[in-house]
Amino acid sequence: MIGDAKRQRATAALCLVASFWSLSAHADGKATEFYYQENQQRFVIQPQDARMVGLAGSTALTTSGSISTVTNPAGLGLMKQADASLSYGHNEISGNTYPGGEGIKDSQNSGQVYGAVPLGPVKDALPDYGNLGFGWYGRGGDWSGDPDNTDTGTYQVSAAYAKAIGDKMALGYGLTYQNDSVDGDTVEYDSTNSFLQTLGLQVQDSEDLTFGGLVSFGFGDHTVKNRLTPERDQSVDQFSFGVGGGVEYASGSTSLAGGVDYTYYQNSGNNEIVDTSVWGGDSTANAMNVRFGIEERVLDWLALRVGYLYAANFKWDYDREYLNDLSGSATYNSVTMGAGLNYTFDQDSMIQAIKADYGAQYRDIGDGDWLHMVTLGTPFDICL
């Protein structure tokens, strides 16, 4: 009896220590911050270029260029020339593992190439039949400090079409296919059937003022395979809905931009057989971003940029009792900066300009995370 009592007290003490460790590991919210961002990336994302990064994404809906293929396809419709861009980025997402609470970091490298061409080009005028955009994006992530030895890989293929209505307004439609995978020692996650549809509007109210709007619908599914317990394998349906608006005003050498966007995420799976995994099952989330940016062209060939982003990542709800500690919000503030070089050719040249941009973003989330991106781009005339 005495031995049983001692064993009960020892067991209770161990449970108390374990509970305290679990609470302390997640009390700072770093596990929620890490997995919230990782779960967002399991849905179809919309890449940006270095200029947008330097301006906190505030110009994503008002830009007219090849990157508009994925940010706001309507921007293609107001292009008079063709355009091509190539980007490389390095991003870090840090936090704590779940449920252990060890420090973790996802180091990501990404590359992207986008192009846009006018259909029925007209010299110094909008094309007769609109504009076509297309592109590819790829990202690889390596998790350090993760006991499950997780790696991630993602690629996208995108296409978009836009047509001007008059001289100042354009409508556009874009479609992106995404293939995404998460590979660890215990879990294999594959999404080979995910799509994002975007409907965009862009209006140039004057030479100085541009408005942009976007609605997006994402759908698809992914499979989750548990290497240790195959009976927990399952298929999960995904859905997302987003809406956003932006404005950009240029006066002399100064440009001001602002934007707001909201996205709803939903996973629909089987909660009963994945109660111990952060992947799969049912979950819902909401995210809203408020963005501001300022660009100053200090010289004809040099522009400097700063921006601010408030990311209101509302509660990610896993709808499973086991993951109650992980459910929560991951809001953060972000400051951005960047610079752009622009070399312009003669007016009669086929290549109109060569642009080189750099953008950096600091996020006060996790351990303080950074994104760095560089972009090379060139608008060119195919109607000489």
pLDDT, tens digit, 9 for 90 and up, residues 255-296: 999 999 999 999 999 887 776 788 889 999 999 999 999 999
Could you tell me the CATH number of the domain that includes residue 187?
A: 2.40.160.60
CA distance 152 to 189: 9
**pLDDT over 90 percentage in the chain:** 79
Which of helix, strand or coil describes residue 98?
A: coil
Contacts of residue 5, defined as CB under 8 A and 6 or more positions apart, other chains included, come to none
The torsion region of residue 281 among left (phi > 0), alpha (psi -120 to 50) and beta comes to left
User: Which pLDDT does position 347 carry in this prediction?
Assistant: 81
Q: Give the residues of the chain that fall short of pLDDT 70.
A: 1-28, 275, 384
pLDDT for res 4: 52
Closest among 160, 151, 236 to 192, alpha carbons compared: 236
Q: How much is the pLDDT for 90?
A: 98
Residue 6 lies in a domain: no
Q: Please state whether the predicted TM-score (pTM) of the whole model is above 0.85.
A: yes
CB atoms within 10 A of CB 268: 14
pLDDT of res. 123: 86
Structural domain harbouring 45: 29-380
pLDDT of residue 201: 98
Please report whether residue 14 resides in a domain. Answer: no
pLDDT of residue 25: 41
In a domain, 18, yes or no: no
Q: How far apart are CA 98 and CA 6, in angstroms?
A: 31
pLDDT value at residue 275:
66
Residue 303 counted as domain residue:
yes
Residue 16 included in any domain: no
The number of domains in the chain is 1
Position 379 scores a pLDDT of: 96
Q: Evaluate whether residue 125 is within a structural domain.
A: yes
The amino acid that residue 184 corresponds to is G
Q: Say if strands 169-183 and 353-363 run parallel, antiparallel, or are unpaired.
A: unpaired
CA distance 158 to 69: 7
Residues 340, 51: contact at Cβ < 8 Å?
A: yes
313 belongs to a structural domain:
yes
Q: 8 in a domain, yes or no? A: no
Q: Can you give the pLDDT at residue 6?
A: 42
Task: Please report the pLDDT score of residue 228 as a whole number.
Answer: 81
